[in-house]
Amino acid sequence: MKSVKQQIMTINFSNKWVKATLHILVWAVLVTLPYIMNIDRGRPPRSLTNYEETQFLRLNFLSYFYWIAVFYLNSKVLIPSFFYQKKYLLYSLSFFACLLLAITVHAVMFTSLLPDLNFNLGRTLWFNTPTFLLTIAASTAFTMISDRISEEKRVLQREQENMRTELSFLRSQISPHFIFNVLNNIVALVRLKSNELEPTVMKLSGLMQYMLYETDEEKVSIKTETEYLQAYIDLQKQRFGKKVNIETHIQIENEFDEIEPMLLIPFIENAFKHGVGMIENPQIFVDLKTEDGKLTFSVRNKFNPEENEVKDEASGIGLVNVSRRLNLIYGDNHQLIIDKNGNWFNVSLTLKLTI
């Protein structure tokens, strides 16, 4: 999946090219269609002298400039100021004012370039009114399409920004919960006066560095994420020793595959939170495998179904958050199954790493 920044840059780039293409197509139509509709359009009468023919062609060429002015006047001023504001009477009056102005400009240029020819108002209206209507229609269509594209871009940017804000909020909820659990580990080691205290603190330092810096990235390598998971499991092994049977199997095919940071740790946290304590022969199994751009992850732990645990305010926050994050980021490219079977709690996750 593309990052938010990459998506916005792609949208901006595409939007510029779409607008440029629309401009080219519109003006190609406006220039050629009058000639297609009337093959004699723009051709001077055969009775004209060579000089007058040249001046007549020059008049036709210069006329495109005021059609361009009409096009953008309608697009940038009349539609936003009147049509979008539902001031249809003012828009209609402006419409006819533009037509009158265009005919007046045409008359001025005609008498300037061809002073020896009589200006014919009826003939001018006959040839210029269809072009004027075509220009207004093209301008209106262009403006509405362009505005629709811009609005869709703004909506998508807002959605992406909202998603990024929500993901940041969800991460901020997970991190304190995790720190609380690890600090409990250290307190236990201090009470036991264990020689493992110093390496444990070093491991915690590494984990804190990961949480403070790596998780600001939208994606991290699967190698970095699994090292983080393994460090956390090692801390738990130091805390519980042989009291809990902990088995971990991690098999990474491509260590450069990327994953959302802090995505898997809530499942392991939950296993240690509910899989130890007043449980006979506590066991926790963690399996993680990546193959062909696909991740398969499972966590199984024994729990006591009859134990009425008094939960704190943060209880269960991890699994709710990670489920929400998976839906936001991976959508249909993931499958999460959480179930209880007897005295076993099972989590199974599959997702595509490359989207």
Q: Are 112 and 236 within one domain?
A: no
Q: Are 128 and 233 within one domain?
A: no
- Residue 49: pLDDT band by 50, 70, 90 thresholds? low
Note whether residue 228 is domain-resident: yes
* Mean pLDDT to the nearest integer, 56-83: 81
Which residue range(s) make up the domain with 339? 194-352
For residue range 118-142, what is the model confidence (pLDDT) as tens digits? 777 777 778 778 878 888 888 888 8
For residue range 195-251, what is the model confidence (pLDDT) as tens digits? 777 777 887 787 777 766 666 667 889 998 898 888 888 878 877 778 889 999 999
- Asked if 161 contacts 168 with a C-beta cutoff of 8 angstroms, the reply is no
Instruction: Quote the number of domains for the chain.
Output: 2
Please check the confidence at residue 175 and state whether its pLDDT lies above 60: no
Note whether residue 187 is domain-resident: no
Query: What is the structure's pLDDT at 4?
Result: 44
Note whether residue 32 is domain-resident: yes
Residue 296 or 55, more confident:
296
Closest CA to 98 of 140, 58, 151, 46: 140
Query: What is the structure's pLDDT at 107?
Result: 82
Across the chain, mean pLDDT equals 76
Last residue of some domain: 105, 133, 155? Answer: 155
Q: Are 348 and 203 within one domain?
A: yes
Q: Are 210 and 105 within one domain?
A: no
Q: Are 129 and 202 within one domain?
A: no
Last residue of some domain: 155, 184, 218? Answer: 155
Note whether residue 176 is domain-resident: no
Note whether residue 96 is domain-resident: yes
Q: Are 84 and 134 within one domain?
A: yes
For residue range 289-300, what is the model confidence (pLDDT) as tens digits? 999 889 999 999
Q: Are 212 and 144 within one domain?
A: no
Please check the confidence at residue 114 and state whether its pLDDT lies above 70: yes
Classified as helix, coil or strand, 333 is: helix
- Residue 48: pLDDT band by 50, 70, 90 thresholds? low
Please check the confidence at residue 178 and state whether its pLDDT lies above 90: no
Rounded CA-CA distance 334/346 in Å is: 17
Rounded CA-CA distance 192/31 in Å is: 88
Last residue of some domain: 103, 135, 155? Answer: 155
Q: Are 116 and 69 within one domain?
A: yes
| Other beta carbons less than 10 A from residue 78's beta carbon | 23
Is residue 197 exposed (0-12), middle (13-18) or buried (19+ Cβ within 10 Å)?
A: middle
Among 158-172, 195-209, 248-262, the minimum mean pLDDT is found in: 158-172
Q: Are 98 and 241 within one domain?
A: no
Non-local (6+) Cβ contacts of 176 within 8 A are: 314
For residue range 300-350, what is the model confidence (pLDDT) as tens digits? 999 887 764 544 444 456 677 788 888 878 888 999 999 988 889 999 999
Query: What is the structure's pLDDT at 16?
Result: 64
Q: Are 26 and 103 within one domain?
A: yes
Note whether residue 336 is domain-resident: yes
| Other beta carbons less than 10 A from residue 56's beta carbon | 19
Residue 178 or 24, more confident:
24
- Asked if 142 contacts 128 with a C-beta cutoff of 8 angstroms, the reply is no
Q: Are 8 and 150 within one domain?
A: yes
